[in-house]
Amino acid sequence: MKTRFVFSLVALIVTVFAFSSCQMGADPWKNNQLMEPAELARILNDPAATKPAVFSIGFEADIKGSVEIGPVKDDANLQKFKDALSKLPKNANIVIYCGCCPFTHCPNVRPAFKLLNEMGFTNHKLLNLSNNIKADWIDKGYPINQ
C-alpha cells in the first residue's frame, strides 16, 4: 500500500514538472525580444527615429501608426499577417502587440511570433504589455491612433 502511494506521488510530481516544462517552453520569443512600452513610445515620439513596422495582431490598432491585422488566432487574420509580412525584408524592424490580456492568456501573440520566426525575420519584437493595452499604453499617455 505504502509503495503504491509513493509510486503515485512520484508519478504525479513527474507529470507536474513535465507539464510545467512544456508550458515554459511554449513561448516562441526570448526575453531580449520583448520591447518595453516606454521604449516604443520614445521611438514613436522622436521625429528623427527610424520607425518600426508596428502590427496590431489583436482587436484594434490603438498604437499610433500601427497596422490593424485583427486577431491572428483566426486563420484568415494569420494569413493577412503573413501577406503583410511577405512585403517586408527579413531584417525589417517589426513590433507586434495584442493587448487584450496578459501573455499567459493571450490567444494571439504566440501564433504571430511563431510566424515571424518561421518566415525567417531577424529583427522582430513583442511589445511587453504585461496587463493590457489600456493599462500599459493608453493610460500612460503614449501615442495612439485618433
Q: Read off the pTM.
A: 0.81
Task: Please name every residue paired with 97 in a beta bridge, in sequence order, or none if there are none.
Answer: 56
The rounded distance, in Å, linking the Cα atoms of 47 and 89 is 23
The rounded distance, in Å, linking the Cα atoms of 39 and 97 is 14
Measured CA to CA in angstroms, residue 85 lies from 2, 21, 57, 81, 105 at distances of 59, 31, 12, 6, 25
Task: Please name every residue paired with 94 in a beta bridge, in sequence order, or none if there are none.
Answer: 53, 124
The rounded distance, in Å, linking the Cα atoms of 132 and 99 is 4
The whole-number average pLDDT for the span 57-61 is 93
C-alpha cell at 73: 488566432
Pick the CATH number of 30-140 from 3.40.50.11810, 3.40.250.10, 3.50.50.60, 3.40.50.620: 3.40.250.10
Measured CA to CA in angstroms, residue 57 lies from 11, 83, 137 at distances of 40, 13, 16
Per-residue model confidence as pLDDT tens digits over 3-56: 554 444 444 443 434 433 334 457 989 999 999 999 999 999 999 999 999 999
